[in-house]
Structure 1
Amino acid sequence: MWDCRELGLFLCALSILPLVCFSASFVPLDNYLIDCGSLANTSIDSRNFTSDGFYKNLLSTQQDVLANTSLKSVTSSGDSPLYQTARIFTSSSKYTFPIIKKGRHWIRLYFFPFAYQNHNLSAANFAVTTQNYILLSNFSVSKNPVMKEYSLNLTSDTLVITFNPSHNSIAFLNAIEVVSVPDELIADDASTLNPVASYSGLLTVALETVFRVNMGGPTVSSGNDTLHRTWVPDQKFLIQPNLASNFSNIGAVTYVNGGPTENTAPPSVYGTLTQMNSADDPRSNFNVTWQFDVEPQFQYLIRLHFCDIVSKSLNELYFNVYVNSWLAAKDLDLSTKNHNVLATPYYMDLIAAPSVSNKIRVSIGPSTLNNDYPNAILNGLEIMKMNNSISSLSGSTTVPLASASSGSGSGSKKVGIIVGVTLGAISVLVLVAVLFILCRKQRRLEREGHSKTWIPLSINYGTSHTMGSKYSNGTTASAASSFGYRIPFVAVQEATNNFDESWVIGIGGFGKVYKGMLNDGTKVAVKRGNPRSQQGLAEFRTEIEMLSQFRHRHLVSLIGYCDERNEMILIYEYMEKGTLKSHLYGSGLPSLSWKERLEICIGAARGLHYLHTGYAKAVIHRDVKSANILLDENLMAKVADFGLSKTGPEIDQTHVSTAVKGSFGYLDPEYFRRQQLTEKSDVYSFGVVLFEVLCARPVIDPSLPREKVNLAEWTMKWQKRGQLEQIIDPTLAGKIRADSLRKFGETAEKCLADFGVDRPSMGDVLWNLEYALQLQEAVVQGDPEENSTNMIGELSPQVNDFNHDVSVSAAQFESSSLDDLSGVSMSRVFSQLVKSEGR
């Protein structure tokens, strides 16, 4: 008589024989294929599933039912034979498999509920566990066939899989596989998305396959995969199918030594892809996005498969890859990943942090490095759930015990109670020990009383830096840490009174803004990202990147940021008077005088002019509006919110092609039509702000008559009639000098020109606003320019030659990227310009 292990070895030898004969690929040493409840063997895709009657010695149970009824009356002829029989368990039962080769193994469980005698399998509720992991808990199958696939690292000589029916319920199983997995299939290392870092230890993690998708191709059945995996088409996961197109060239796929093999994914996956449906339009700028339903609160291993079968030459295709709102790969060039060989498979493993969302979105989009038509590709995708901290792959932490209706059930319940009490006592002891250690550490830190420092964020999109809290003793935060530095989450909590809702001072697209105070008494504004916001990591990084490079009196300063605990938090200097918008309408604040409004516009223009000219490459704000112009206690204006900012065009380029972003009512119509961004897009938005300042009303107000809804359109009609004074803020009536109003209106009108080439630069806008202020403060006698109707066009040459007449030139005034010279009085400068002796 053979013992259990000898029987296992014999059966494994029998089951791998067909693979040895017909395939030169991976041959698993452990290869248990069982058709549960069947009286005969079943052949599926050239694999022989053995009747579990032959495997009876592997099954340990006191009560079970062999259900071998045919299901042809209730299923279609196309259903797999594996689902036509089942083994039903009325009490706790287990399979014990001898393991020849330790390491990672597939465990595939097949379930299909059907009515058998007095057992309704759709009503079954049960748990499935191994000696190390909870695979299923409170599990039931209502209608359709279900196959659950797990990948576990086995370290013992046996694998025990236990089926535990819930109280007064049953468990069932139609088929089971326990099969060795190639060692190289799951590497130990991967990259995390949030925070961006490297991850190791994946070899010991239990995985559940949630999705396995073939992009751009049909279903790949298990018979066409060396590891007998099934890949499903991607169409049903596409959010906007019209943005995607398919491509196939399976014969081009070339596997090279040292790279992925057919065990990674078959040629039928790497040889098909989904790409951008750009229709040969060089201006195409969009993402192709897939959405997948997942269980929240779990980490997920996301494997992206790539194979460039579309390019004709190397270094031709560059694209970006996103997972949720996180940039997973920037300017990905597959030819550099594959030994400079085209059509060579490549895959990328990424780990998504636990989230409250039940969705995972994967997107591909064009890179700005593309020299040809923009494109992006994806060939295949696998999403695998990772076990949580209690070694469970099930959302429920409860493992149902066996029924108490029998003696064995009562025994199981007693064992469960004993184990539960023991584990509970151990948990309490561990918790007490941890709390004791933490308390001692806290007391030590309080005694030492050291100040705290933070390591600055490495502004790049690679994975070389580790994001997370890196600070020395304690949690005190102060403004002395300087901007661009990471601040611990606990310090942000202290500064905002644990994000007290009564401290909220604003809500925007990124999230809520809280008033806060650091331990040194510095007032701050804390902008906390909303995980459900449409703005995400890209905006978070852009804001840090931009504000860490700029230093200007009229740009809001960034004090620090926090990216712990999946948070995206930005900490700015506090602007006491809030937004310009709030001082114009809707908040009941005192009305601003015309001089105050002009000075605020001048300050904002200085900040924008610096962005456009004070750096090696122009920076385009892309969201200029009154809500993004903040005021300090002295009503000095500072431009804020750089999450949408873009670096401007190269010297030999006229524009940047990019997706349209901004705010309705302020958006440059030329940018909207052509998706071509320039500094003049900011000029247009600023022109809308100028009219908003003058009229003190929203830029879009649907409650008004049709002709008044859009502020820009409405004011331009009155400006062209020469009757702008008819629509100004009533509180300014009779308080604006006619020449100042005319110059202000002409400046705003030029900003709103239909074509960017016809609009002034921010430098010209700045000088003309200063001139409007001079006209308001004093009447200039005998000035030939006083009655000009086109000062912008005539003033610019004077500005260009200004350094010949006075000591401060326009270029000197704003060009320095190191020092803020904006304190120079423009009133003083203009007093030289408008007086005869200054000419």
Structure 2
Amino acid sequence: MMLRKGIDVLLLWILSILHLQSSCEGYNPPDNYLIDCGSSSNTTVGDRVFIADNSAASKFLSTPEDVLAKSSSNAKGDSPLYQTARVFTGSTKYTFPATQKGRHWIRLYFSPFVYNSYNMSSATFSVSAQSFVLLNRFTATGVVVKEFSVNASSSSIVVTFNPSDNSFAFLNAIEVVSVPDELIQDDASVLPSGNYQGLLVQALETVHRVNMGGPTVSSANDTLWRTWVPDGNFLVQASLAKNVTKIGAVNYVSGGPTPNIAPSTVYGTLTEMNSASDPNSNFNVTWQFDVDSRFRYLVRFHFCDIVSSSLNQLLFNVYIGSSIVVSNLDLSTRTFNVLAAPYYLDLVTDVIDSTTLRVSIGPSTESGGYPNAILNGLEIMKMNNSDGSLSGDSSAVSSGSSSKSMVGVIVGSSVGGVMALAFIGVLLVCCQRRRKRFSGQGLSKTWIPISINGGTSLTMGSKYSNGTTASIASNLGYRIPFAAVQEATNNFDESWVIGIGGFGKVYRGELSDGTKVAAKRGNPKSQQGLAEFKTEIEMLSQFRHRHLVSLIGYCDERNEMILIYEYMENGTLKSHLYGSDLPNLSWKQRLEICIGAARGLHYLHTGYATAVIHRDVKSANILLDENLMAKVADFGLSKAGPELDQTHVSTAVKGSFGYLDPEYFRRQQLTEKSDVYSFGVVLFEVLCARPVIDPTLPREMVNLAEWAMKWQKKGQLDKIIDPTLAGMIRPDSLRKFAETAEKCLADFGVDRPAMGDVLWNLEYALQLQEAVLQGDPEDNSTNMIGELSPQVNNFSNVDASVSAVALEVEGGAVDDDLSGVSMSRVFSQLVKSEGR
């Protein structure tokens, strides 16, 4: 047994070396500052060279005194970096030029020893970088490596050491190294459900980095010089787990995670359920980690199915604490049906109240096969709090606490308080005047404007968030008091519920001025919608279009978060296609609905200098008014598109399964063509009137896009269309519609038409349906894609002019409905919420 274990370890080492040779060449950091503090000569660690702390390194340093310390002992096995140190007797800064903006590692090495009168184990100090507090009143009691990552938004990175009280600071070595953009994306999922945006501006501290089922992976064997520790010490019940090693099986696929995300020595080992050949096994494998309370954490799960012999064998659940992160996880569906391909999942926790965090995996109740669950690696990263600190109270960071500075704080606080009260008074007066003016124009007397001078930023907080900053370029935002929402919804009458989603329930209602609305009320037990709420206020308030659903206002008081939308009498397009008893739509109605949705998306893509990419186009997000006019809804995942000199926006993949652009999934690079792909799926959904993913069907029919494309390429698409449309579609109209959908689903975005071209072809398909056109029918084929009709150009011009119209009412009536939308409908969002 011992011999076999030794062979396994040797094999693991050999494979790690072989894989490292092919992966270590992948990243060359633009900024790579390595300093061995206190050393008079360069120090080599693996293949990295830490420069001597002499004049070359000192150019980065401003210090009141040079104290270079050398340890009198040299314990066997100690890293050479810990033999020397620099002592800081006063506030000291390292300033490193940032040749490339973006996230950077900051690694600090500490190993205290005694040098002259400096007993480093008693040193107490704080460390900050940029505007973040990394360490506060820190004392190193042993060998410690602290790893942080911060975003460099300026031309330099400044790391400051501040001794506490009458103490001093010390440092054995420091790294400031660029991080590849792919490592940390801007958004992640949020527990218990929802999306988090803003990771790029967060400072992170690595708390745990664990290699499940394998040995330590040293920094020398990682492309980004990270250390991964074994998971044995964190297992709650080790007998429930067993290890698997198959490093050679790891299959890095194009567009998926690279070795920069995690090396093959992590993805090639795992911990799985030790089911002991019991097909009825039903337990979780759990790890427990020490964390600091009162912080949120970014938890990254690493998966790679190296245990299955074929696709779709493994189905399991993932948990953080008692909350389920993913249920029925099938890695095959996350890796485009490639076995043993790496996959990672980012989750942001709520603020942790405990000093421990538990992570678990367990079998799915829906799994028809042998019960199992796996985890290959785990990273737990602390996120800075609202004070910009990664170390709790940051009040003691700045050096010098004299009575003079305290007087300054007291005086500053007093003056600031008086100014704040004066500002609030002026704000209330202005609001009162504005409310009177609006009441004379027939608008709701209870609406209070967010912004009274076009550009004022206010912070709105609730139990759901630490504050959402809303900056609105013109006076379009209205806060509706909670009492008014209660009245409009008959005190949230359950019989008035018209939809339920991940964010909460949606109620029909009517405001005091007679406006019919839908009120989406946040569920206190859910955090889905925080990012959507922020996106709505900050970005989408500028849109005003007949084919975009309008958000009328919001409520953020009494620990509530409620969004108020125009009421869409006929609900979602999806509900009219299948899954309900609603009357069937005619082919003409379906074409007109698709045309309306295409107009809305075309406006998003072209109506402003920077395109807006919806990122969640699906039939559930196309709503229908009383006349079945289509309006695009739910902009919670929307992103500003690339600038003129860019081709894409790099972002973590978000969207709805079945509609997701495979190129976006592979490359994590978002363009308007990702919306085009999703819309192509919607077109086939409209034609076939069935779900885009239906696991109850035979395997070849499960995915609608693949199934429809198969029949389209055979030229027999008419065999799978909605039976209620049989004999109702002119052949030319069907051909034009199908060719358009096919173009939308091209594998590569560059081969897909723009939304303007899609719109033109759909309008042409409608013309072909309504009348026999003159000329050769063969001319009415895909050669028309790429040409914009005069109608489309005129439509764009009208929308652009409408978007420029100032909606500020400064007396007198203003012509209403320049683009088919009421003047009170000034936002774009969702009426009926359907969970993603």
With the length of structure 2 as denominator, give the TM-score of the two structures.
0.50
- Give 1 or 2 for the bigger CA radius of gyration: 1
Q: With a CA cutoff of 8 Å and minimum separation of 6, indicate the structure with the bigger relative contact order.
A: 2
With the length of structure 1 as denominator, give the TM-score of the two structures.
0.50
